[in-house]
Amino acid sequence: MRYGFVGLGQMGAPMAANLAAAQDVKVLDLSEDAIKAAVRAGASAVSSLKDFADIGVLFLCLPNGGIVEKSLFDKTNGIAKFLSPNTIVVDTSTIEYSLTLSIGDRLDALGLRFLDAPVSGMWKRAQDGTLTMMIGGETDIVEDLRPALSTMADRILHTGAVGSGQLTKLINQLLFDINVAALAEILPMAKKLGLDPENTAEVVNSGTGRSYASEYFIPQILEGTFDTGYPLQSAYKDLISGAEISARYQIPAPVLAAATSTYQQALLEGHGAKDKGAMVLVYERLLGVNCRKSSVEDTTND
């Protein structure tokens, strides 16, 4: 079996490298450097989209749904029309649920097969091949691909029909976003009431209020560091999906909705390139406080 891999970015590069260590992989990316690195790791570069005709599985790892759609279906450069019948497309990108359903339908109409397989875990776990992968699609396809998928992920969950991989990941992300939004309003409240941010941090992170969000972001907020995670503007697609699902399926989600407003306010106040911890800046500005440790000079809201 031959494989294709499109999108050799922060996550895609190590994923493709791990796959290429075990399998025959043809890669494609906008960046020549990324392609060269993948070739060094054992992959081969495609010279034209026609080279994808003999692969059995095409992996995608692209920034967002618009790019996934374009890369598959663009009138001139769309890859889909160069694939042979029954080729399996595995989209490991995190994209909107509704778009995943429509991509699945369009591939189906072209005689192609589809899995949505978004991953969680950051760059480090991609490199170690220990990502978590949530997969929506038919059971037999998932089983056939399990060896290949295992080069990238050590926790492989088959979650149901097409779209369910994205949904499962989305559920995790929405909880994460709410937990961060909670910090964003509660930590500045604590400071405004006269509490020392370091004490608060210690109590929360050793107490029942702790979360992955608090463990990851509170130390960074204390330092005034807002550039170590996925940027707010890139992750915003999750909140669009959450809002659309809540609206379309008539599922009330008031806590998520309140968190979404905080997130949007952070975007509108210019923090889109910062990580999610920067949501705290919204309430720091409003309350006229900051949550830096005493040794850190804060300049964020100046």
Ligand X SMILES: NC(=O)C1=CN([C@@H]2O[C@H](COP(=O)(O)OP(=O)(O)OC[C@H]3O[C@@H](n4cnc5c(N)ncnc54)[C@H](OP(=O)(O)O)[C@@H]3O)[C@@H](O)[C@H]2O)C=CC1
User: Under the rule (CB under 6 A), what is the footprint of ligand X?
Assistant: 6-12, 28-31, 34, 61-63, 67, 71, 93-94, 119-120, 122-123, 230
Concerning whether 70 is annotated as a catalytic residue, the answer is: no
Instruction: Select 63 or 219, whichever has its Cβ closest to ligand X.
Output: 63
Q: How far is the CB of 251 from ligand X (least distance, A)?
A: 23
**Ordered DSSP codes for 219-257:** HHHHHT---SS-BHHHHHHHHHHHHHHHHHTT---HHHH
Distances (CA, A) of 136 to 3, 161, 222: 19, 5, 39
DSSP state letter for 137: S
Footprint of a second copy on 63-82 (CB under 8 A): none
28 touches which of ligand X, a second copy, none (CB within 5 to 8 A by kind)?
ligand X
**With the CA atoms of 22, 23, 26 and 28 taken in that order, what torsion angle do they form, in degrees rounded to the nearest 10?**
-40
Tokens representing residue 157 in the block: 């969950």
134 touches which of a second copy, ligand X, none (CB within 5 to 8 A by kind)?
a second copy
Footprint of a second copy on 106-165 (CB under 8 A): 120, 132, 134, 155, 157, 159-161, 164
Instruction: Select 143 or 215, whichever has its Cβ closest to ligand X.
Output: 215
Mutual angle of helices 280-287 and 164-192, in 10-degree steps? 20
Q: How far is the CB of 8 from a second copy (least distance, A)?
A: 24
119 touches which of ligand X, a second copy, none (CB within 5 to 8 A by kind)?
ligand X
Determine the Cα–Cα distance for residues 297 and 232; give it in Å rounded to an integer: 24
Determine the Cα–Cα distance for residues 209 and 207; give it in Å rounded to an integer: 5
Determine the Cα–Cα distance for residues 21 and 56; give it in Å rounded to an integer: 17
Footprint of a second copy on 223-282 (CB under 8 A): 236, 239-240, 243-262, 264-265, 267-269
Footprint of a second copy on 23-52 (CB under 8 A): none
Closest residue to ligand X, based on beta-carbon distance: 9
> What does DSSP say about strands 131-136 and 119-120: parallel, antiparallel, or unpaired?
antiparallel
Q: How far is the CB of 160 from ligand X (least distance, A)?
A: 20
The catalytically annotated residue of 50, 124, 169, 274 is: 169
Look up tokens 């000079």; give the residue.
297
Length of the chain: 302
9 touches which of a second copy, ligand X, none (CB within 5 to 8 A by kind)?
ligand X
Q: Are 158 and 138 in contact (CB under 8 A)?
A: no
Q: How far is the CB of 211 from ligand X (least distance, A)?
A: 18
Element (H, E) at 213: helix 212-223
7 touches which of a second copy, ligand X, none (CB within 5 to 8 A by kind)?
ligand X
- Does residue 290 touch a second copy according to CB under 8 A? no
Instruction: Select 44 or 172, whichever has its Cβ closest to a second copy.
Output: 172
Catalytic residue list:
169
